[in-house]
Amino acid sequence: MISNLAALPIVIPLIVGVLAALFHKKLKLVRVYAQVLTLINTGVVAYILFYVHQNGSVVLESGDWMAPFGIVLVADMLSMTLVLTTNIVAIACIFYAPKSLSQKQEEFYFYTFYFLLISGVSGAFITGDLFNLFVFFEVLLMASYGLIVLGGEKVQLRESMKYVLINLFSSMLFVTTIAFLYSVVGTVNMAQIAERVGEVEQTGILTTIGILLFFVFGTKAALFPLYYWLPKPYIAPNPVISALFGALLTKVGIYSLLRVFSLIFVHERDVTHEFFIWIAALTLIFGSIGALSTNNIKLVVAYNIIPAVGFMLIGIGVYNSTGFSGTVYYLVHDMIIKAALFLLVGAVAYLAGTSDLRKIRGLIHHYPLLGWMFFISAFVLAGIPPFSGFVGKLVLLQGAMEADRIIIAIIGLGSSLLILLSVIRIFIRGFWGEKDESITPNRNAARGFIMPVAFLLFFSVLLGVGAEWFYPSIESIGDYLMNPENYIESILKE
């Protein structure tokens, strides 16, 4: 009975989303409905996380088909932490949405896509079955396709084509790779795959299959040299949608990498994980260079997704408990701050009437609160204490240095500076400077934008200043990932 808890974070948004389609034109109703149910779902997820924290992982064998034969849903600390973060981001977005979306966009099933996106993301975090992971990937991708084309602007359609095509290709590669893996180990249950791959010490073709999977997830996670599709399509739709994408989609990719390369393909680390370190370094370097390359403030934030993913890959590559903890902490941090930043630059672009930094100045005189929130976000992003980014970065770098990976740690530090420069120049040029008298401040709109961002920043500060409330749990996730037999046993309990 209690094991059904694991399905709730997937099922609730699914049902809610489908129902939302029934009264999609009654905007006032559907807004309140969406907001209330997002809050309720968050409450449920928080309870499940609490339950898992107290009692250990909850494993649901769907349809009572015992693992590894049926599909298992695994609510462990890692997946539930991420699902909860997803929902926190969702709350901010759902309250921001009415202010930012056009009436038509709302009417054309924004809320349905939104809930199904949440459902798909949660499913991807929770499932314990590789093929089912593919299915949830498709759910969240399809919802994202629906969101990215919402509105049907010229730019959107153009960028959506690229987005859909590259993701479609990587999905096809994903199913093919699952088939290869099935041929070798005869199963699609992740725990059993892990067990079997371990038994044969990851011989023969298995490592190559692992690398193919790395490319599948790496494309979703936007790693070097696979991230080309990310920046432009992410800024084409409405800021709310950008925020959902930036916060959630790439993170599902990095989560999958974390799961698969801590659980399954861990026996040829000289090849795979060594390779990750290099990829991480290149991702950090090219990502931060990208962030500096543009004067489009939305694009700056979109590019900043990339080095963050590079950071998280460090933790996977160094393969120690500290590194894993760092990756998880950074993952939570990054989901929140990326959403906040996308919402912020969305608000700035809306209020200033342009997203070209060269045309914006002196905004702080009109919108002081917005300015200071941006200022804080810049430091959160760059990992300056006492905010969440610092804790994540510190633990990651500790992990790297414990593993004698000094160079990657130094690259990480260096890219922090570039990241800071890339966002602080928005503050200096866009917010500082002489007051732009041509703008008539729209304080009402600004207030609507500020609350959701403040909500997110509250968590960024909390995760930094109050790190002690979170870190011990995250640290235990790190240990848990280092010992995959825990995961395997909890599912295949024979």
Please, which residues bridge with residue 72 across strands? 61
Nearer to other proteins, 62 or 486 (CB): 62
- Smallest gap from Cβ 397 to other proteins, in A, equals 5
Closer CB to other proteins, residue 151 or residue 246? 151
Distance in Å, CB of 287 to other proteins, minimum:
10
CB of 268 to other proteins, least distance (A): 6
Question: Among residues 229 and 452, whose Cβ is nearest to other proteins?
Answer: 229
Q: How far apart are the C-alpha atoms of 412 and 268, rounded to whole Å?
A: 25
Which letter does DSSP use for residue 295 in this model? S
Name the strand (E) or helix (H) holding 214: helix 206-221
State the nearest-atom distance from the C-beta of 215 to other proteins, in Å: 5
State which residue, 36 or 200, has the beta carbon closest to other proteins. 200
Q: Which is nearer to other proteins, 410 or 448 (CB)?
A: 410
Distance CA(494)–CA(480), nearest Å, equals: 20
Cβ closest to other proteins, residue 73 vs residue 337: 73
Report which of 454, 493, 456, 47 is spatially closest to residue 246, judged by C-alpha positions. Answer: 456
Question: What Å distances lie between residue 1 and 4, 48, 60, 468, CA to CA?
Answer: 6, 13, 9, 33
Shortest Cβ 100–other proteins spacing (Å):
17
Q: 29 or 200, CB closer to other proteins? A: 200
Burial of 440 (0-12, 13-18, 19+ CB in 10 A): exposed
> Shortest approach of other proteins to residue 9 CB, angstroms?
13
Handedness of CA 355, 358, 362, 368 (dihedral sign): positive
The amino acid at 58: V
Q: Is the sign of the CA dihedral 86, 219, 78, 281 positive or negative?
A: negative
The H-assigned helical ranges of 222-271 are 231-235, 239-244, 250-263
Task: Report, in Å, the least distance between residue 421 CB and other proteins.
Answer: 6
